[in-house]
Amino acid sequence: MAAKTSYDVVIIGGGFAGVTAARDLQKRGLSTIVLEARDRLGGRTFYEERNGFHVELGGTWIHWTQPFVWAEKERYGLEVQETPGCVAERIAIKIDGKVQELQEAQLGEFVEGFEHFFAESKGVWERPYDIHHCWEAVCERDALTVADRLNALDLTPLQRTSLGGFLEILSMNQPQNASYVEMMRTWSLTAWNYQLFNDTAARYKLTKGTAALVEAITRDGGFEVALSTAVRSVQHTSEGVSVTTESGERLMAQRAVVTVPLNVLHNLHFDPPLSEVKLEASKLKHVGGGCKVFFEVGGDPGAVMTLSRSTDSPLIGSFTYKRGEKHSVLAGFSLEPDALEKSVDEWQPVLEEFIPGVKVLSTFGHDWGGDDLSQGSWCTYRPGTVARFTDELPRQEGHLYFASGDHAQGWRGFIEGAIASGSRTAVQVAESLRT
């Protein structure tokens, strides 16, 4: 329930994009409220305490290649800790139906697979924040899928599996559904370097969790928050914006910032309607699906990583997330729609194939695809949509502004992108209100 009926700015959605925009606007002296449908802030970042372990069910890993989120971590003095399986002592890969342990002598072959796949990326994303810099090169390849690229290369069986599995995790979809251009952009953000790419993807997590960063931003910002307040409709005129919640409450503001996930944007009613491209993109949905599924296992399996193609195993990848003497937790990824419903008995042989002797005690996770307020995991654009959506999705419409990790310019699909987009949008909104 809002304290007032009128604000300078209403922010719709309280994930990282929303709270960052709210903080930056309130600190510029603009009265700002965040309306969040859930009973908590943080959106697609959320945690569970599991038998003494803090486990992030959504967005988790951050890195200094991500300037905005790293600056926030430094600003608020938050610590990070390492994820053991990201720097694994043992990597088990399922190749041609058989699990093999990656040998030191194969490391070169493994990394070369990535270098072959991404060989064009320097020319296509010489500047990964600027699609216009190599516009023609992006457009020429926009329709290509990850599968198209994989099929065009002469890869060894090891490379085909390790690279294929990694790309399935990165896009959270099968190679035929994921955009090759999008994968190249992410690779370019880590300076075309495998080690940096791997470390950015899954090495460092906030010791006290992402919730500690959301809380630090919120406390510092001092903006108003209304939880359990879903927005139903938004009307905007040259005078300002009127926002109506599901319970019928109406708030007026000079500006609104819409931060709801791309896949649910079309559920809100806008008058006048959103641009056709925004509506099309939201209804089409990004392809980031799949499940992050956790396994609580007995004892300490060591620092392990597993990789497979989704055609060979329900588990495309996993790695040790938390180690303990009595029990540990592995973080895994699956493209199977029922991954979170599978029983311990169903998962036991799947995991044991990669980690002999492992004993699965429980499995858990959050179904982000089935969650009405996200309807997907992290954002990966579809093949054939990158050139059309990149500029259009964040484009302002009248007094409506749009911020989201789902359409950030650089680290699209990441916490970093959400913070960068929220921060950039706050500057635009504040500028528009400068008298």
Ligand X SMILES: Cc1cc2nc3c(=O)[nH]c(=O)nc-3n(C[C@H](O)[C@H](O)[C@H](O)COP(=O)(O)OP(=O)(O)OC[C@H]3O[C@@H](n4cnc5c(N)ncnc54)[C@H](O)[C@@H]3O)c2cc1C
Residues binding ligand X (CB under 6 A): 12-18, 35-38, 43-45, 58-62, 230-231, 259-261, 264, 268, 292, 368, 373-374, 377-378, 404-406, 413-416, 418
Q: Give the CA count within 13 Å in the CB-facing half-sphere of 4.
A: 13
- Considering the complex, what minimum distance in angstroms separates the CB of residue 176 from ligand X? 22
Which residue lies nearer to ligand X by CB, 61 or 118? Answer: 61
Q: Are 249 and 393 in contact (CB under 8 A)?
A: no
Angle at 99 between CA 354 and CA 203, to 5 degrees: 55
Which residue lies nearer to ligand X by CB, 37 or 124? Answer: 37
- Considering the complex, what minimum distance in angstroms separates the CB of residue 35 from ligand X? 5
Which residue lies nearer to ligand X by CB, 159 or 190? Answer: 190
Which residue lies nearer to ligand X by CB, 113 or 417? Answer: 417
CA distances from 178 to 182, 185, 237, 238 (A): 8, 13, 38, 39
- Considering the complex, what minimum distance in angstroms separates the CB of residue 353 from ligand X? 24
Type of residue numbered 88:
A
The H or E element that residue 74 is part of is helix 67-75
Residue 99 φ/ψ region, left for φ over 0, alpha for ψ in the -120 to 50 degree band, beta for the rest: beta
Look at residue 234 and give its three-state secondary structure.
strand
- Considering the complex, what minimum distance in angstroms separates the CB of residue 380 from ligand X? 11
Which residue lies nearer to ligand X by CB, 150 or 340? Answer: 340
CA distances from 38 to 12, 256, 287, 344 (A): 12, 19, 23, 30
Comparing C-alpha atoms, which of 398, 282, 288, 407 is closest to residue 17? Answer: 407
Say how far residue 116 (Cα) sits from the centre of its chain.
Answer: 25
- Considering the complex, what minimum distance in angstroms separates the CB of residue 181 from ligand X? 19
Look at residue 60 and give its three-state secondary structure.
coil
Which residue lies nearer to ligand X by CB, 55 or 230? Answer: 230
- Considering the complex, what minimum distance in angstroms separates the CB of residue 98 from ligand X? 29
Which residue lies nearer to ligand X by CB, 292 or 327? Answer: 292
- Considering the complex, what minimum distance in angstroms separates the CB of residue 331 from ligand X? 9
- Considering the complex, what minimum distance in angstroms separates the CB of residue 175 from ligand X? 20
Which residue lies nearer to ligand X by CB, 161 or 375? Answer: 375
Q: Can you tell me the distance from the alpha carbon of 21 to that of 403, in angstroms, rounded to the nearest whole number?
A: 8
CA distances from 376 to 105, 173, 350, 371 (A): 38, 11, 25, 8
Sign of the Cα torsion 163, 164, 167, 168 reads negative
